[in-house]
Amino acid sequence: MKYLTFLIPVVICFLSCANTTEKIKDERPNIIFLMADDQASYTLGCYGNKDVKTPNIDKLSDLGVTFDHHYATTAICMASRATVMTGLLEYRTGTNFLHGPMNDEVWQSSYPVLLRKAGYTTAFAGKFGFEVQNQKETYMPVNDFDKWAGGDGQTSYSTKKNEALLKYAKAYPHSTLAYGAFGSDFIESSTQQNTPFCLSISFKAPHRPTTPDKRFDSIYANKTFKKPDNYGREFGAHFSNQSKQGRQYPRFIEWHYNDKYDEVMATYHQQVYGIDYAVGMILETLKKTGADKNTVIIYTSDNGFFCGSHGYGSKVLPYEESSKVPMIIYDPRNSNSNKGKRSKALTGNIDIAPTILNLAGIEATKTVDGKNMMPLYNNPESKIHESMALINVWGPSETHALSIVSKDYKYIYWGFAGEGFKETEELYFLREDPLELRNIAANSEHERKLLELQNTYDNHVSTWKEKAVNYNNYKRYSTLFDRQTSWEEKSKVLFDLEAKN
């Protein structure tokens, strides 16, 4: 009897422990990261546009915290997406058009790879934006996700052209809503597991070619849109001659911002409306599955977009319309949620990966350039950056620029000084001049601030020299951006770079 008395508690304990193990659920939050392509902040109601309808994204803004000074540190998709994934500035990812793919070693430190290693179920849908290269091959990291509906290159608005989305093609022939359907199905399947999930959707919209979903044709039919207060060529006359050499300048006319503004903007906003509808699909699925109580949602864009402001079109350049993008975070677990709070702190796409990793309980390496944004969620009045670099090393050499932005000021250095050009500096007091209408670099009242930002700029050039990857020509750009180096010396490096490209 003594033997049986001893055995029974052991058996009960074993069964109890086994049963407890089965019920253990990972309480880390689910994470949904949503990113548009070429979406300017002013395309959203929550950023002050009264002409548009974006009810679901506006709802996210009301639920969470909206960031008013969020920047894409490189305002072009390939480089920006590499930064988003890693928390590293472009010259540290080594990734952009005309430069090269991402090194596998860099990719292994990306948030999707680290979250999956930490037990998250991961999925990606949409425009991935870059390739990864190891010693053997260049590849798309399909196998680094549990579910994949991504595409290479610019992808397509036609759902049937993405093999992973074929089952959605009949109901949702336009890819924007197909991504919403894919995301909804992934949420439903993932909530049946005991592990958290991370869903990343990178919409192609509203990137050109302008291809809105026809089911939304009535939304902006015959709509007249208010033009921005800095619309037109007269408001870009003070910009550097260098900035007018890229494709952004002629596209004001080529893309008909000059003569068909309402028609062009109706198409652009209709594409954004499709994204908003897809966001609604995802919000509805979260609520239906009960995952809404433990799912953090992040919404942003890879870069902004000129829509006639200053007489420019497209992106790339370091001005506000091109480099400033929406950023909304909603964490239903946080006491600051459901209050429609806003943060005026300086943030950027370098901060996205560290924030996602922090939410997942993973400490970002100390070598990343970005910082966790959640302290701003807890206290929107606080700050995490004093300044941030804005980079362009894509397109014509004349347009290459390194800039420094703080919450109140922006300093832009145009170093190309070949025939017909001269070294140019621009300084904008963003707090009083958010439309960048007055270059105050030569204004003696702001001389102290100019010197301060020049010093910050010079320090960043030194950081570039120290930390840039030693491939894809990134090291040499630190010479081109050095304010103390003569044009004669810079031109030697520049022409060598052009020969290699």
Q: Where does the pLDDT of residue 5 fall: very low under 50, low under 70, confident under 90, or very high at 90 and above?
A: very low
Contact predicate 151/127, CB 8 Å = yes
Residue 435 neighbours by CB distance under 10 Å: 17
Residue 366 has a pLDDT of 75
Domain boundaries, the chain: 29-383, 389-500
Can you tell me whether residue 217 is helix, strand or coil? Answer: coil
The mean per-residue pLDDT over the stretch 111-124 comes to 98
Calculate mean pLDDT across residues 124-133. 97
pLDDT tens column, 161-175: 999 999 999 999 999
Looking at residue 300, what is its pLDDT?
98
3 has pLDDT over 60: no
Out of 35-39, 376-380, 492-496, pick the least confident. Answer: 492-496
pLDDT of residue 121 exceeding 50, the answer is yes
Pairing of strands 132-133, 102-103: parallel
What's the rounded Cα separation, in Å, for the pair 400 and 390?
A: 11
* DSSP assignments along 319-353, one per residue: SHHHHB--EEEE-TTSTTTTS-EEEEEEEEGGGHH
d(CA 377, CA 341): 8
Amino acid symbol at 416: F
Cβ-in-10-Å burial (0-12, 13-18, 19+) of 156 comes to middle
CA distance 171 to 303: 30
Q: What is the mean pLDDT of residues 10-36?
A: 65
Q: Is the pLDDT of residue 18 over 80?
A: no
Over the stretch 409-443, which tens digit does the pLDDT of each residue have?
999 999 999 999 999 999 999 999 999 999 999 99
8 A C-beta contact, residue 477 and residue 91: yes
CATH classification (class only), 29-383 = alpha beta
Tell me the whole-structure pTM to 2 decimals.
Answer: 0.94
Torsion of CA 92, 95, 351, 277, to 10 degrees: 180
Mean pLDDT across 145-169: 95
Question: Using 50, 70 and 90 to split pLDDT, how confident is the model at 500?
Answer: low
Confidence bin at 255 (pLDDT 50/70/90): very high
First to last CA, the chain: 86
* pLDDT in the model for residue 501: 55
Q: SS3 of 417, please? A: coil
Answer whether residue 496 shows pLDDT above 80.
Answer: no
Least reliable range by pLDDT among 38-42, 134-138, 336-340, 364-368: 364-368
Q: Cα Rg for the chain, rounded, in angstroms?
A: 24
For domain 389-500, give the fold: Arylsulfatase, C-terminal domain (3.30.1120)
**pLDDT digit string, tens, across residues 49-81:** 999 999 999 999 999 999 999 999 999 999 999
pLDDT the model gives residue 24? 62
| Count of beta carbons in the 10 Å neighbourhood of residue 292 | 18
Q: Quickly state the pLDDT bin for 493 (edges 50, 70, 90).
A: confident
Contact (CB, 8 A) for 198 and 31: yes
Higher pLDDT among residues 176 and 2, named by residue: 176
Would you give the DSSP letter of residue 191? T
Q: pLDDT digit string (tens) for 275-313?
A: 999 999 999 999 999 999 999 999 999 999 999 999 999
